[in-house]
Amino acid sequence: MTAVSLGRRPELLPLAGFTVGVTAARRAEELGGLLERRGAEVLHAPAIRIVPLADDTELHAATEQLINHPPDVVVVTTGIGFRGWVEAADGWGLGEALIGALRRATLLSRGPKSRGAVRAAGLTDAWSPPSESSAEVLEHLLAGDLEGVRVAVQLHGEPLPDFVDALDCAGAQVIQVPVYRWVLPEDLAPLNRLLAAVLDGGVDAVSFTSAPAAASVLSRATELGVLEPLLQRLRRDVVAACVGPVTAGPLVSRDVPTVQPVRSRIGALVRTLSETLPARAPRWPVAGQVLELRGHAAVVDGVLRAVPPTPMALLRLLAARPGRVVPRAELLSVMPAAGDDEHAVETAVARLRTALGAPRLVQTVVKRGYRLALDPGDCR
């Protein structure tokens, strides 16, 4: 027998009623699927694409340099980057020689993924930071004597000037290994749509799984002339969810608050969003029921109610002053297509009541306007 036939309420998924933007290039489907299984509507908008450098002369030259003059220390920042490097070397006939040179070095892995790639290549890393942070790797290196030490740094899609400069200042000989780079996606339309949706209030959270993706979103907003409005949205209304502190860096530098899981994993990121967004949703006791306002829906006594855009605009305006009367003329201000037709407000309110499934939640105050019927004792 089904839950419906027993009269049970359908389960309210934690992200139901919320819209989340996904900027990931890699594993975007996995992240989107996890969000959708928790009820979210997902806007896919890859902010970057990976350009492998298997044929790049710079990578080839760095590989030959390391083979001819093996490094003392190698910093492995990403698993995909390390694997791509070894595969490129194999293609040039240098794979065994590269592994031999790396085997004589002290390998430092930034996190579990890079450690897994190192071990898959038959190598063993000597140390990995608990925080999975490049800053902690740098701190670990600077704790020792680096004068004359040859340090190879596998880049993760963008330069690491602060990291490299600090090693240079400590006397190290730094070899940068650019195994791939990030660029804007060929099709910018999804990213443009995501930015427009954020600015229009149609997105509740944007997820980031890499620092280049966060930087790319800010760069594209700058190109479109909407950086400041975007930053204001991210600072006030839209949750910026980052998989870890490195990813959050470009946003934090712009004073954008972020939420991050304790462990830098996609599943943990989804769980963090599943806790954060419902906790931010305002709730009121209205006409003997509990009304919760989510991104594009309302929840009435634990039941999700889809609300069309125009009635939702009215509900948001009423909810901004729960229990207080909002005049019809003011409600018209969020209905630009209605002009000065106050009858259109009545129609929209009727649609709102139908969508909520509880007409008494929105009370008509004759000749004045409408109000959320906040329970006695809760009016302020």
What pLDDT, in 10s, does the model give residues 64-93?
999 999 999 999 998 888 998 999 899 999
Q: What is the pLDDT of residue 275?
A: 97
pTM: 0.77
Q: What is the pLDDT of residue 6?
A: 46
Pairing of strands 297-300, 326-327: unpaired
Contact predicate 318/40, CB 8 Å: no
Q: What is the pLDDT of residue 120?
A: 96
CATH architecture of the domain covering 51-182: 3-Layer(aba) Sandwich (3.40)
**CATH for 283-372?**
1.10.10.10
Per-residue CA distances from 181 to 24, 50, 170, 253, 368 (Å): 15, 6, 27, 22, 60
pLDDT tier at 177, thresholds 50, 70, 90: very high
Rounded-to-10 torsion of CA 38, 41, 45, 50: 20
Token pair of 221 as six digits:
């907003």
Where is mean pLDDT largest: 125-134, 230-239, 315-324? 230-239
Contact predicate 302/12, CB 8 Å: yes
Average pLDDT score over residue span 181-199: 93
Of 203-212, 226-235, 336-345, the least confident: 336-345
Residue 137 is inside which H or E element, if any? helix 134-142
Q: Which is it for the CA torsion 314, 317, 320, 321, positive or negative?
A: negative
pLDDT tier at 347, thresholds 50, 70, 90: very high
pLDDT tier at 357, thresholds 50, 70, 90: very high
Q: What ranges do the domains of the chain cover?
A: 19-48+185-280, 51-182, 283-372
Q: What is the pLDDT of residue 8?
A: 62
Q: What is the pLDDT of residue 211?
A: 85
Q: What is the pLDDT of residue 339?
A: 62
Who's near 200: CB < 8 A, 6+ residues apart? none
Whether the pLDDT of residue 350 is over 90: the answer is yes
Task: Extract the runs of DSSP E, i.e. beta strands, from the chain.
Answer: 19-22, 41-44, 49-52, 73-76, 106-109, 150-154, 173-177, 180-183, 205-208, 239-242, 258-259, 283-286, 289-293, 297-300, 303-306, 326-327, 362-365, 369-372
- pLDDT mean across residues, the chain: 91
User: Could you tell me which residue, 379 or 163, shows the higher pLDDT?
Assistant: 163
Whether the pLDDT of residue 19 is over 90: the answer is yes
Which residue, 78, 101, 74, is CA-closest to 89? 101
Average pLDDT score over residue span 263-278: 94
Per-residue CA distances from 305 to 28, 350, 358 (Å): 28, 15, 10
Pairing of strands 205-208, 326-327: unpaired
Q: Which is it for the CA torsion 184, 187, 189, 191, positive or negative?
A: negative
Q: Which is it for the CA torsion 97, 99, 103, 108, positive or negative?
A: positive
User: Could you tell me which residue, 337 or 370, shows the higher pLDDT?
Assistant: 370
Residue labelled with tokens 């934690």: 14
Please report, as a single letter, which amino acid is at residue 30: E
pLDDT tier at 377, thresholds 50, 70, 90: low
Whether 283-372 and 19-48+185-280 are alike in CATH topology: the answer is: no
Which residue, 372, 111, 104, 144, is CA-closest to 263? 111
pLDDT tier at 2, thresholds 50, 70, 90: very low
User: Could you tell me which residue, 231 or 181, shows the higher pLDDT?
Assistant: 231
Q: What is the pLDDT of residue 5?
A: 40
Q: What is the pLDDT of residue 54?
A: 57
pLDDT tier at 231, thresholds 50, 70, 90: very high
Per-residue CA distances from 108 to 117, 153, 201 (Å): 12, 10, 43
Average pLDDT score over residue span 152-161: 81
Contact predicate 179/56, CB 8 Å: no
Q: What is the pLDDT of residue 379?
A: 44
Whether the pLDDT of residue 111 is over 80: the answer is yes
Whether the pLDDT of residue 160 is over 90: the answer is no
Token pair of 255 as six digits:
């004073």
Residue 241: strand pairing partners: 207, 259
- The CATH fold assigned to 19-48+185-280 is Rossmann fold (3.40.50)
For the chain, give the longest Cα–Cα distance: 87
